[in-house]
Amino acid sequence: MEVIRAKRAGACYGVQRALDMADEVIEGGNRAYTLGPLIHNPQVVADLAARGAEAVGSVDDIAWEAAAEGAVEGVSAAPAVVIRSHGVTPEVLDAVRGRGFAVVDATCPHVSRAQAAAAELAREGCRVIVLGEAGHPEVEGLTAWARQAGGKVDVVAGPDEIPAGLYDPVGVVAQTTQRRENLEAVVGALREAGLDPIVRNTICSATRQRQEAAAELAAGVDAMVVIGGRNSSNTTRLAEVCADACPRTFHIESADELDAAAFAGCKRLGLTAGASTPENQIASVEAFLRTL
C-alpha cells in the first residue's frame, strides 16, 4: 500500500512558536504554568506537564509558594505563566500581570491580529460578528477584546445563526481556523439582508493551506488518516474536509488507535495532520502505516 503525506501538514508556525517558548521556560529552571492547554493536543500537553509546565484552569490555581519551590539558585522565583497559543481575554492578561507572574505571551501572531481586528471594528462603532465556535478559547478572547473596546458582539457558527434586526455598521472577524467557505456564506447572508459588512478575513493561511492540500490528496486516495487532537478545531475541520472528498476518513490522535483491518483493500492511503500536531506524532503514525 502506498502512503502519501499531504504537501502541507502538521504544526504551523504559531504552534511551533508556542512550543519553543514553553521549552525555553522549562529549560530555564523555573516552575511554569499554562492557562489552559498550550495547544489543543492532549499528548503534547501531558508531555509539558511531565517536564514542568502544568496546565491550570485559571490564575487562581497558581500558588506563588508552590511555584517558587521549583526555582534553582540564580533564577527568579516568580513562576512563569505561558499564555496559550489561542490567546486569552484582556481581563485574564491583566490578572496575570497584576499577580506579579512572569508573563510569556505565546499567543499565535495570527490570533493576536484577529484580536486587534475585532477591537478595531468595535472602536469604529461596528456591531461585531465573530464567526466561530461558541465557548472556544480563541473565540472567547476575540469577543472579550471587542467588548473591551466598547463593541456589541454576536458569535455565530454560520449564516443560520446571524441575529435579526442588525443594521450598519457591521463588522466581521473569523476564528483563525474557520473554513473560508463558511466566512463567505456569512458575509453573503449579511449582504442579502441589505447590510454592507466590513470584513476582516482573519482566517489563518496555514489552516487554509492544510485544508486545500488535504482535499486535493483525499480526492485521489482510497482512505485518509487525519492526525490531531479531537479537541482541536483546525484538526476537526481538516477531517471534515477530507471526509467530503473521501468518506473513508479516520481522525486519530495516535498510532495506537489504528486498526490494520480498516485499510483492507486500500492501494493508496493519504495522511495529513492538523496545525497543532508536531512532527514526531506524524512520523509515528506514518511509520506504522508503512508496515501495513
Is 284 a known ligand-binding residue?
A: no
242 labeled part of a ligand binding site: no
Q: Is 276 annotated as a binding residue?
A: yes
- Residues 59/97, Cβ–Cβ less than 8 Å: no
136 is in an annotated binding site: yes
Name the strands in the sheet holding 170-174, side by side, starting at the edge strand that comes first in the sequence: 153-156, 127-131, 170-174, 198-200
Please tell me the distance from the alpha carbon of residue 119 to that of residue 124, in angstroms, as a whole number.
9
The H-assigned helical ranges of the chain are 13-27, 42-51, 64-68, 90-98, 109-123, 137-148, 180-192, 205-218, 233-245, 279-289
HSE value, Cβ hemisphere, 13 Å, CA-based, for 206: 21
205 annotated among ligand-binding-site residues: no
Tell whether 108 is in a known binding site: yes
Annotated active-site residue 138? The verdict is yes
Lookup: cell for 222 = 482510497
Which entry of 138, 140, 253, 286 is annotated as an active-site residue? 138
Q: Is 251 annotated as a binding residue?
A: no
126 is in an annotated binding site: no
CA distance 204 to 111: 8
Joined together, the cell numbers standing for residue 240 give 471534515
Establish whether 86 is an annotated binding residue. Answer: yes
Could you tell me if 114 and 142 are in contact, meaning their C-beta atoms sit under 8 angstroms apart?
yes
| Number of other CB atoms surrounding residue 17 within 10 Å | 16
Peptide linkage before 163 cis (omega within 30 of 0)? no
Q: Is 266 annotated as a binding residue?
A: no
Was 246 annotated as part of a binding site?
no
Q: Which residues are catalytic?
A: 138
Sequence ranges of the binding site: 12, 40, 86, 108, 136, 176, 204, 232-234, 276
Sequence ranges of the binding site for [4Fe-4S] cluster: 12, 108, 204
Sequence ranges of the binding site for isopentenyl diphosphate: 40, 86, 136, 232-234, 276
